[in-house]
Amino acid sequence: MLIKDKFHLSYCTNIHPGEDWKQTWENLEEYLPKVKEQVSPKQPFGVGLRLSNVASLELQEGSRLQEFKDWLEENDLYVFTMNGFPYGNFHNERVKDMVHAPDWTTADRLEYTIRLFKQLAFLLPKGIKGGISTSPISYKFWHASEKATDKAFVDGATNMIAVALQLIDIEEKTGKHLHLDIEPEPDGMLENSVEVLEFYGSYLIPIGTKILVDKLGCTTSKAKELILRHIMICYDVCHFSLAYEEPQYTLKKFKDAGIEVGKIQVSSALKILFEEGNNEAIWQTLERFNEPTYLHQVTRKKGDQVFTYRDLPELLTKKGDFTELRAHFHVPIFMEQYESLFSTQDQILKVLELLKKDPFSDHLEIETYTWDVLPKELKMELSASIVREVKWLKNKL
């Protein structure tokens, strides 16, 4: 859905279970037309497509990809962005830190991402940029030493540049501009703007420049330009809220460094504000968000430092005396408060105000994937929940 002739807006279909193409297709066929009818009845509706590795492989078989493209066109739908972060199953079983596996040090992650880009290039309408969000290299606790961490950054940068080479080739052949959107998140190897700038400056650009100069015979300045054109950032509002980074601060740092935001994932974290005295009601409400599927890192700021609990149970067993905590639990973006808890919805509103003044990204994707595990009071029928979020965001824009 195009808003103000500037912004492509949709929701991420990782909301729906889809380990294989059959299940993915059944959910897309059921939900996308229903949602479109209610939020965009008279104009095309964009799709934030999520394909697991298995679903992507099966979509390649026979004429399925062409049939899917035909179905999209018949239903006035178009794919402009994909979520390439979760590789495997993302529902109904323990995901936790394995959402990063396989990471960017592996050939499996590289092969999966390139395949997704080829599928996106086929599905993407002409005249629209296309992006795929992805893991921030790896999960930091899988790399115990400084040497292991450095190697992961080197391997990750090298593999991402291999993707960039594919995207350069695709643009030369089709005219379609595609970009890989790295998505920082708590306890990923990239968590905040400082780490993003360090990765670009110490790994991605130096390593990539050498490879592109060797492969393409271009100048170093052209190589850097191509890297920044095809490797961008996915600004997940929930994740940067957990880093206690104000949008204006973060986005200025990226802009000054020449790093573009390929996609904004519109998402909201839990915000826990404590008062003096008895906070038992707060802890009891927070307990209701303790579920076994996803990682729910909790962050607190002390001075200029941000400290992270790896998962919600770690915090709940210790509790303690706090002023404010933020929890990595994607709650509905229209939710400002739930009982004694709050949300970081204010961060979404700040991003939207900045976007109105300077449209620094034209891809907006709502990513509340937690409907299955939310407290029952926050649940409605799924398509009604999706519609409510899309309408809320559309109205705020």
Residue 167 has pLDDT above 80, yes or no: yes
Q: How far is CA 120 from CA 6, 42, 96, 222, 380, in A?
A: 20, 24, 27, 25, 31
C-alpha span between 237 and 365 (Å, rounded): 11
Tally of domains within the chain: 1
Contact at 8 Å (CB) between 228 and 184? Answer: no
Whether 26 shows a pLDDT value over 70: the answer reads yes
User: Euclidean distance between the first and final Cα of the chain, in Å?
Assistant: 12
* Out of 1-5, 65-69, 132-136, least confident range: 1-5
Residue type, 364: L
Write the DSSP symbol of residue 277. Answer: S
Query: How is residue 247 written in tokens?
Result: 């949008």
User: Does any domain span residue 303?
Assistant: no
What residue has token string 């808003």?
Answer: 3
Helix, strand, coil percentages for the chain (3-state, nearest 5): 50, 20, 30
- The reply to whether omega before 102 is within 30° of 0 (cis) is yes
In this structure, is residue 327 part of a structural domain?
A: no
Whether the per-residue pLDDT at 266 is higher than 80: the answer is: yes
Specify if 51 maps to a domain: yes
Q: Which residue has the higher pLDDT, 321 or 4?
A: 321
Strands 178-182 and 130-134: parallel
Range of the domain at 210: 2-268+343-396
Q: Is residue 64 part of a domain?
A: yes
Q: What percent of the chain has pLDDT over 70?
A: 99
Plot region of 309 (φ>0 → left; ψ -120 to 50 → alpha; else → beta): beta
- 146 belongs to a structural domain: yes
CA distances from residue 185 to 29, 52, 193, 203 in whole angstroms, order as listed: 31, 20, 11, 19
Tokens 């299955």 belong to 372
Over 80: is that where the pLDDT of 276 sits?
Answer: no
Say if 281 falls within a structural domain.
no
pLDDT at 374: 92
Whether 75 has a pLDDT exceeding 80, the answer reads yes
Query: Which residue from 237, 102, 251 is spatially nearest to 183, judged by alpha carbons?
Result: 237
Question: Which CATH number goes with the domain that contains 83?
Answer: 3.20.20.150
Considering the domain boundaries, does residue 276 fall inside one? Answer: no
- Residue 319 has a pLDDT of 85
Residue 100 has pLDDT above 90, yes or no: yes
Nearest CA to 242 among 270, 219, 263, 208?
270
Give the model's pLDDT for residue 1.
67
What integer is the mean pLDDT of 112-134?
97
Number of Cβ within 10 Å of residue 122's Cβ equals 14
308 closest CA partner among 243, 375, 211, 221: 243
Q: Is the pTM of this model over 0.85?
A: yes
CA distance 332 to 83: 19
What's the DSSP call for residue 125?
Answer: P
Count helices and strands (H / E) in the chain.
14, 15
Q: Is residue 100 a contact partner of residue 188, using CB atoms and an 8 Å limit?
A: yes
- Assess if residue 301 is contained within a domain: no
CA distance 317 to 314: 6
For residues 40 and 43, give the distance between their C-alpha atoms in angstroms, rounded to a whole number.
6
Task: Report the distance separating Cα 368 and Cα 379, nearest Å.
Answer: 12
Distance CA 237, CA 243 (A): 10
Mean pLDDT, the chain, integer: 95
Whether residue 228 is predicted with pLDDT greater than 80 in this model: the reply is yes
